[in-house]
Amino acid sequence: MTFRLESVDMGHSWTERPIQRLSLHDEIAAKLRVMIQEGELAPGTRVPEVKLCQHFGISRTPLREALKVLASEGLIELRPNRGSIVSPIKANEIRGIFEVLQALEHQVGATVTERILDDELTQVLELNRQLLSAHRGRNQSLYFRLHLKLQQRLADLTENVVLSGLYASFLTKIARACTSASVDAAHWEQWGRDHTEIMARLADRDGHRLSQVLQRHSRSFGEAIVSGLKITMESYDDF
């Protein structure tokens, strides 16, 4: 059966359809997510519900709904009658994520070189320019943020929603680990060279070699992050 758009009277044009806004607890969840990823709410610490309510000017109901959202993402642990805590960063989990990412990088490299458009390539090159600027300035915090943003952008440009979704889930957890990691000089210098080569292979549309350097870089990045992690707490029996 075929429907014609003009036969349906909606009372307004399609472009006038109101945009659905985020609920209050979704907005709070988004803000808390950033605070967790950037280490403002440190791993293993109790969530200061009273202070957060005062900070955001909200009651406990939307805050607790937001915490449930973050708990479903593994960022918060809900502990009945004892309050919530920020989930600890587990080295074994982060190591496992990087092992999976190394396999996925092959698919990203092979696919993005076939699908990226010229204007998209220009945008990626600009993002990489900003990343290298942060790298040269040894701004580790900014470098990590741009690095993860670049990884997600390359995954998005594959136009594979499953692949993109996996990256979004994994990179959220890696972002937390980055705030607790220290990087040695050897890894740091190698990463600068890697990014230059990644962009060269992408510009050449060389999927095979791009996959290789992405996997090599992911392995090096993962080794450095995991080895440099400063796990603040392994057990929370005292809470």
Domain boundaries in the chain? 21-86, 91-228
Look at residue 162 in the predicted model and tell me its pLDDT.
96
Look at residue 62 in the predicted model and tell me its pLDDT.
93
Residue found by looking up tokens 């992911």 in the block = 218
Sign of CA dihedral 80, 90, 185, 108: negative
The 8 Å CB, 24+ separation contacts for 169-174 are: 169/73, 170/97, 170/100, 170/101, 172/33, 172/37, 172/73, 172/75, 173/74, 173/93, 173/94, 173/97, 174/94, 174/97, 174/98, 174/148, 174/225
Which DSSP string do the residues of 156-172 spell out, in sequence order? HTTT-HHHHHHHHHHHH
Q: What is the pLDDT of residues 34-49, one digit of tens each?
A: 898 888 898 889 999 9
What CATH code would you report for 91-228? Answer: 1.20.120.530
Helix (H, G, I), strand (E, B) or coil at 19: coil
What CATH code would you report for 21-86? Answer: 1.10.10.10
Question: Which two three-digit tokens encode residue 228?
Answer: 């440099």
Question: Which two three-digit tokens encode residue 200?
Answer: 């060269």
Across the chain, which has 239 residues, the per-10-residue mean pLDDT values are 40 45 84 87 91 93 93 89 89 93 96 97 97 96 95 97 94 86 88 97 97 96 84 40
β-partners of residue 40 are none
Dist CA 219 CA 213 (whole Å): 10
Dist CA 197 CA 200 (whole Å): 5
Look at residue 22 in the predicted model and tell me its pLDDT.
65
Dist CA 127 CA 133 (whole Å): 10
Dist CA 64 CA 54 (whole Å): 14
Look at residue 161 in the predicted model and tell me its pLDDT.
96
